Amino acid sequence: MSRPPKYWAKAKKILSKKDKVMKKLIINYKDGNLRTRNDVFFSLCKSIIGQQISVAAANSVFLRFQKKCNNKINAKTVNKLSFSSLKSCGLSRQKVRGIKDLAKRILNKTFKPSLIKKMTDEEAIEYLSDLKQIGRWSAEMILLFTFNRSNIWPLQDIGLLRAISNNYKKKYFPPKKFLDKLYKKFTPYCSVATWYLWRSIDNDPIQY
């Protein structure tokens, strides 16, 4: 397990004081933390593969993709693979195009992940969303899991919305007014709150 982000311990204390539900979740799931792979290309590929399919299906496709890359998931390896070779992993045409385009843009340096470190969250989301097959949700997952940004509140994530409904006894979908209230309460540690809410519905910590 990777070390927790620098803000993690402080965030837990503050969230526990601010919110009874958070306090309970933090006590219940004290054995883990947000983990980072620190590999933007790997995480973006995993995010593209996981779009609009179940977690089980995504894991199955990703394992085939990983095998096709000989366990070397990087831009050079992917760029050398043919369209049909990638499609045979179980990827749709759109997803293959997205992954191939990402590899090319990394190699020709029209996409530079290092620039993201100096951007605000919204600037980074806009920059990542310029990539094929990457929308706001995927961009938020990258900021959360790869860059460990502290205040990501991914309201397009069905798991998060379901966890909020379950833990706060709200209907599904939770009212926008209530989601905004939680955002204000949890800021600047929405990422930590999101992680604990996810844990409440899935005992295996999510990783990209």
CATH topology of domain 40-145: Endonuclease III; domain 1 (1.10.340)
How far is 7 from 148, CA to CA, in rounded Å? Answer: 10
Residue 1: CB atoms within 10 Å? 8
Whole-model pTM above 0.85? yes
- Write down the pLDDT at residue 165: 95
State which CATH number among 1.10.1670.40, 3.60.20.10, 3.40.50.720, 2.40.30.70 fits the domain covering 8-35+151-199: 1.10.1670.40
**End-to-end distance of the chain based on CA atoms, in angstroms?**
14
Report domain extents, the chain. Answer: 8-35+151-199, 40-145
The answer to whether 8-35+151-199 and 40-145 have equal CATH topology is no
Spatial CA neighbour of 79 closest among 108, 115, 57, 37: 108
Q: Average pLDDT across each block of 10 residues of the chain; the chain has 208 residues. List them in order.
A: 85 97 94 84 92 85 96 96 96 96 97 96 97 93 93 93 94 92 98 95 69
